Structure 1
């Protein structure tokens, strides 16, 4: 945490290692309890900087409890696979920094998104994003990633 620049930051070397670990994980068909524990620990650490990251960590953690011993394996599919894909896709563009722009707590921000765009309201301020015109690369992303782009990672300013 850098209190001068008001940013949370992941060290570059650890960020690159996490990206590589996620790429390796994507190639697995079966994973052991030990592999899941290792990945969950690293993603939990990264979640301190990645807003909303814990949402995509819960199913991985839950799957760990289903395996009795460290060497027991499970097929990589379903929710765990989707969550690991989210992390992999997000980490491929994440620069390891999160800016603390406002130290005042936000009490209510309302957002919604669909295939064509997204919008949000905070108090009397509002924004709208057309994916095709404003963020063409975001058109194919999961809706949670699209909302993150708008409200947390450099989306249009409210107003």
Structure 2
């Protein structure tokens, strides 16, 4: 890439073409374009002035139709699922977080060789398809290049934490804004309170629902004080149905706002602000975060409904 309004790109193109000709590497002249600031590559429109990617409308319509045809079926052929994953993988060239919703589809095809053989649509597969369908029906086909720099929780002043005490709850904090969510009374003395991985995931989902738009087109490094949850976030999958019920809405936020993310472990003692929120230690909280807003934000209703619908036992 050369500087704007210069002949740098053209010079580089001529040098490259000369090298290819000298060493005998053929170039297809009909496929050689440029220098330009906008071109179509592998079916995606790339605009280097606006740093934007665009997926053609006809391809989006084709994917929605394909999903609607398959999502209600109990079984599909290998050929049908291959066709679907191929078109969805095309979207993932522009919307990288979508790859998480392809993993189970590829796993389902493992070991199936004949294209006419059938694959059962499990509940997890159907939920992934529905997630894709919801996203594509509300997606205008445009996304932007994610920024190259990783933003960490420390840089953003973004923190989350949970308490395993049934009388307490969890907290999230971002740049002065904060939220507290108390565990439902129905959870007292139930096994769900022993599922610390799930409990630690709750405030992360709340935080991204509240502030995800602030991280649009960015690379987000989440600091998490639970190693099991770090692995789950980085692989975007879990054997726990309870955990997956929150992973999907979390990934939908990343899809919606084109956020590239990964998680890393942080020591619990380095997470004092949200530790004090989750434990309702308000005096300590004010000492650690004197710039915090006076009142907390409300937890989004869609997340409250998800949390209250959880199975209390495994």
TM-score, scaled relative to structure 1: 0.71
Q: How does 1:1-159 map to 2 (within 5 A)?
A: 1-100=46-145, 102=147, 104-108=148-152, 112-114=204-206, 117-119=209-211, 142-149=249-256, 152=259
Deviation of residue 106 (structure 1)?
A: 1.9
Greater helix proportion: 2
Higher CA-based Rg:
2
In the TM superposition, what whole-angstrom CA distance separates every residue of 1:78-114 from its partner, at most 9, and x where no partner exists? 3211111110111110111102264x32253567223
Q: Which runs of 5+ in 2 are unaligned?
A: 1-45, 160-203, 216-247, 260-314
Mapped to 2, the partners of 1:21 and 1:36 lie a distance apart of 10
Aligned residues: 133
Q: What RMSD, in angstroms, separates the aligned Cα atoms of the two structures?
A: 2.8
Relative CO higher for 1 or 2, CA cutoff 8 Å, sep ≥ 6? Answer: 1
Q: Secondary structure at the match of 1:94?
A: coil
In the TM superposition, what whole-angstrom CA distance separates every residue of 1:25-66 from its partner, at most 9, and x where no partner exists? 213221011111111111111111123000000110111113
Mapped to 1, the partners of 2:85 and 2:258 lie a distance apart of 26
Mapped to 1, the partners of 2:137 and 2:123 lie a distance apart of 21
Q: Secondary structure at the match of 1:69?
A: coil
TM-score, scaled relative to structure 2: 0.38
Q: Which runs of 5+ in 1 are unaligned?
A: 123-140, 153-159
Mapped to 1, the partners of 2:50 and 2:134 lie a distance apart of 27
